[in-house]
Structure formats: C-alpha cells, structure tokens
Chain A
Amino acid sequence: MADLPRIAARDWTSQPAYLHPAYKSTPLRAPSRPLVPMRHTLSELAQPVYGHEDIGELDHDLTRNAAVNGAPLGERIVVTGRVTDEGGRPLRHTLVELWQCNAAGRYVHAVDTHDAPLDPNFLGAGRTLTDGEGRYRFLTIKPGAYPWGNHPNAWRPNHIHLSLFGEHFASRLVTQMYFPGDPLLDLDPIYRSTPPGVRERLVSRFALDATEPGFALGYVFDIVLRGPRQTPMETQR
C-alpha cells in the first residue's frame, strides 16, 4: 500500500491529447514520444507554499484592480464556482489565478497585435484563494472574442484563462472557461481538442443567483482537479 499513489492519474479520456493538428501550434510543439510513467514518486509532493498574505485586497476584482482614472468598459460579470477533487471533496484555500482579454477582445500583453482598443482601466489579471468550502469568486469584465491566425477567419470564443495548483504538484491545471451559447465554440480547435461529452465541462453556466443585482451578471464554473486515488478504504469515509 505504501507505494501506491495518493492522487488519481491524469484521465486521458478527459484531457486533450498533445497533438491536435487542427490547432496549428501543436505539430511542432507536442511531445511525440510516449510519456514515461512516474506516479508513485511524485504523488505526495505538495503544492508550493503560498498564503493569504500574498493576495492583495483587490486581486480578485478586475473591475478595480487596475483602475487608473475610471472604471473599465464592458459588461461586468461575476465568475464563481467550487474547486473540488474527483471525489467531490472541496479544495480549501487553494490558489486560483485568472487572466483574460478586455471587452474589446484585446490582451494587455505586448505581443497581442489585434487592432482593438486597450482599456486604460483594465489589466485583465487576478487571483484569489478558495474559501473553506472550496469556493472562489472573481468580479471582472466579460472578455470579447478576437481573431487569431490559426486558419482563415478564425476567432477565439469568449474565454477566461485559469490556473490552479490544488493540493499536489501533480494536480496542476491550466484551463480556459467559456460562456454558454457561444456560436464560436463549435468552430474553435482549442475547445474542440477535448472529446465531445467532456468539452462541455469547460463551459460556464449562467446563474441568476450568482448575479450581483443591479451590478453584474453571474456565471458559475466548477473545477474538478485530480485526486484522490480511489480505494475501497477511501470510499467508505
């Protein structure tokens, strides 16, 4: 028992394969050799050390954390949800980092050359820790769609990038959250890199009860990280 991993394996029926030719950046960058299994030596390695002291008071509020001379333009939204492991156990006080483009579909990043305006009052970066029940909550601006060079007339659907550690080095997740009803989803090779029946987990749901009345619409995006490994003992807890 002692050398069995404590974290579930990466579920390759849920995760995208490295090579997805429709996404044209993958062929030169996707590892081509089979991965070498390394489960048991890393299963107990914990996430990096960080804490509440590292998170600024406005870090979770992108409508205010980069304001210079006013409020950012665009539709204010709440993005909230629970972070759990595969057994439904809430991941408490875990770091959630977020970045996105502005309402016009432009990233602050210097290499984004899309001809859409920057917003002097919006950076598009935030972070927070989940609470005692694994919940996180951001206030932000709904990101715009933008064109990219993958294929002729390619547009990314509205999306928000998220980065999480969970409790273990092995539970790291970088993903993207999408919005319900977006017609660009079915045309997007990044979204479609995950299998049908699974990719829907990447789409947030509109929730009136997550809305801040009179101020911001609410979207819920629950996140499931790897682990723990299921054993008969553990399922009886």
Chain B
Amino acid sequence: MSDPTAATPGQTPSQTVGPFFAYGLVPTQYGYPFRSLFGGVLAEARTPGLPIVLTGRVLDANGAPIGDALIEIQHADARGRHPRSRAEVEESGFRGFGRVGTGTLPDGGYAFRTIKPGATPDGQAPHIDVIVSMRGLLSHAFTRVYFDDEAAANAADPVLASVPAERRGTLLARRSDLPGGTVYRFDIRMQGEDETVFFDV
C-alpha cells in the first residue's frame, strides 16, 4: 500500500491535446469505430428544467474559427445540484458533463443539448464550467458561461465580481428563443480585444 508521506515528483506537466484527439476522446461524434464515453447531450426529455442548446465558436487571435478544439462542460441541474452517482444520473437523465470537438459543425462550432442550470446553494448564479483544449494550447484553459437573462443573480455572483467589470461580458451567453427552443450563444475568444476571461482554477 502507499505510504502517505512518500514524496511524489510533483505534478505531471500538461501537454497539448494535439489535432488528432477525436477518435480517442469523441469518436462517436466524428464517426470513428469506438464508442464515446461522453458527448454533446447532457439531458433527456424527461430531465426537469428548461431544455437549452449551448452553442458557439472558438476563435483565434485573428478571429478565425478553430476547428480542432475540444470543449468539455460541467454544470448543475435545474436545482443547482451536480449529479454524484450513476443512480442519480439514471433517475433524472441528467449527466452533468459533456464533451464535443469543434470539427464536425461548420466554422469551428460546438453545440451541447442540456438543461439550464439553477443557482447553486452557495449563492452562485447559474453557470456552466468549461474546459478548453486544442492544438497550440499546452495546458487546458478554464472558463465559465453565465446567462444574459440572469442579471440579478449575476450581479450577486462572487466569481463574476472578481472579474474586472469591463471583461464580464465575455462570460455571458446570449439567449435567443427560436422556434426549435431556447438557444444560448457563447463564443470563446482565445485572444484579442474581447479575449474570453480564463480562470486559474
């Protein structure tokens, strides 16, 4: 058994996910003969809450769409709780975690089908945590989606409060109510004037 006092050599360094991750991490989405463990659908029709699509593009310093990024999201259910077990996932149909690549929609797009999260019990506004990986990114980047129709909750959110006011807008997903349902748009800008806020988590 392990000796808890044994020193480890320290954190294993991150390396880029590279351009060729799709058949390993999101094979079903890209049509490879391997079953994805995680995909772009986090909730089922029976899952309580407002069904939403979260979609957007990932853009480089020149505003060019990035077609080889991996986007992973994790968020709470409509009551603000994260599923903790398979039994909970099976009961609600809510997985709480999704993963897609930006290589199968036009223009470096990504899309998730899920439900709108609720505010969490510790007073955070409804939000979605995001991990961004791609060729050219040596360590993954963390960001967070907030919702533009939650002004009151956003105003009281401690994480948003820690972000310089002029940059908070980069974390807001914009709602549109379309015939097919509610869509929130959230573009991720790696650099530039409106560079998305990334967090040291």
Say yes or no: A48-B74 contact (C-beta < 8 A), given A26-B138, A127-B37, A174-B133: yes
Interface membership of chain A positions 140-163, coded 1 if the CB is closer than 8 angstroms to chain B and 0 otherwise: 000000000000000000000101
Q: A193 CA to B135 CA in the complex, in Å?
A: 14
Partner of B198, one of A31, A126, A201: A31
Q: Is the Cβ of B14 less than 8 Å from the Cβ of A15?
A: yes
In the complex, what residue of chain A is closest to B58 when comparing beta carbons?
Answer: A29
Q: Is the Cβ of B15 less than 8 Å from the Cβ of A175?
A: yes
- Chain A, interface size: which category? 35 or more
Q: A125 CA to B30 CA in the complex, in Å?
A: 14
Partner of A112, one of B14, B20, B159: B20
Enumerate chain A residues within 8 angstroms of B20, measured Cβ to Cβ.
99, 101, 107, 109, 111-112
Partner of A99, one of B13, B25, B95, B103: B25
Enumerate chain B residues within 8 angstroms of A199, measured Cβ to Cβ.
13
Q: Is the Cβ of A123 less than 8 Å from the Cβ of B23?
A: yes
Q: Which of B130-145 contact A (CB under 8 A)?
A: 131, 133-142, 144
Partner of A201, one of B7, B12, B131: B12
Enumerate chain B residues within 8 angstroms of A85, measured Cβ to Cβ.
8
| Interface assignment of A97: CB less than 8 Å from any CB of chain B | yes
Interface membership of chain B positions 1-42, coded 1 if the CB is closer than 8 angstroms to chain A and 0 otherwise: 111111111111111111111111101001011110110000
Give the number of residues in B that approach A within 8 Å (Cβ atoms): 81
Q: Is the interface of B mostly helix, strand, loop or mixed?
A: loop
In the complex, what residue of chain B is closest to A3 when comparing beta carbons?
Answer: B122
Say yes or no: A35-B191 contact (C-beta < 8 A), given A123-B23, A172-B140: no
Q: Which of A170-185 contact B (CB under 8 A)?
A: 170, 172-176
Q: Is the Cβ of B32 less than 8 Å from the Cβ of A125?
A: yes
Chain A residues with CB under 8 Å of chain B are 9-11, 14-18, 20, 23, 25-33, 35-39, 41-42, 45-46, 48-51, 53-54, 56, 65-66, 84-90, 95, 97-99, 101, 107-112, 123-127, 133-134, 161, 163, 169-170, 172-176, 190-191, 193-194, 198-199, 201-202, 222-226, 235, 237
Q: List 12 A-B contacts (CB under 8 A).
A: A16-B13, A28-B190, A37-B200, A41-B158, A49-B95, A88-B4, A111-B68, A161-B15, A161-B17, A163-B17, A174-B15, A224-B12
